[in-house]
Amino acid sequence: MRGRGTLFWILLAALVGFGLFQVKYKVQTLENDLRRLNANITAEQEQLHVLRAEWAYLNHPLRLEELSARHLLLRRPTIDQIRALNTIPHRTEISPPSPLTDEAGR
């Protein structure tokens, strides 16, 4: 009877030791994954910071004004381009297409 009890406790200790061994390596694997994910998050945050700084530079009003002056060739409107609203011709009324015809009128 005493031999069975001793064998039971030895087997139980071995199982608990094996279980602790498995848990230890599982925790180490999870910690490595966590460390890797935190490094990825930090790298992404740094990249986001760089992109925000670049966006701020690219959208700076003085830079945009200089680019528009160089590439768009915009000019100020002249006085002869300005008209009174009542001098603009009205559109002629167009009847909606019939449901039986398509847009080309067929």
87, part of any domain: no
How many domains is the chain built from? 1
pLDDT in tens, 90-99: 777 666 666 6
pLDDT score at 19: 94
Mean pLDDT calculated for residue range 29-38: 98
Check residue 36 and give its pLDDT.
98
Residue 51 domain-assigned (yes or no):
yes
Q: How far apart are CA 31 and CA 37, in angstroms?
A: 10
Full DSSP string of the chain: -HHHHHHHHHHHHHHHHHHHHHHHHHHHHHHHHHHHHHHHHHHHHHHHHHHHHHHHHHT-HHHHHHHHHHHT---PPPGGG---GGGSPPPPP-PPPPTTS-TT--
d(CA 94, CA 89) in angstroms, rounded, equals 15
Is the pTM of the predicted complex or chain greater than 0.75?
no
Within a domain: 43: yes
Residue 10's alpha-carbon distances to 7, 14, 89, in angstroms, are: 5, 6, 102
In a domain, 69, yes or no: yes
| Domain extent at residue 69 | 25-73
Q: What is the pLDDT of residues 39-91, one digit of tens each?
A: 999 999 999 999 999 999 999 999 998 998 888 888 888 888 888 888 888 77
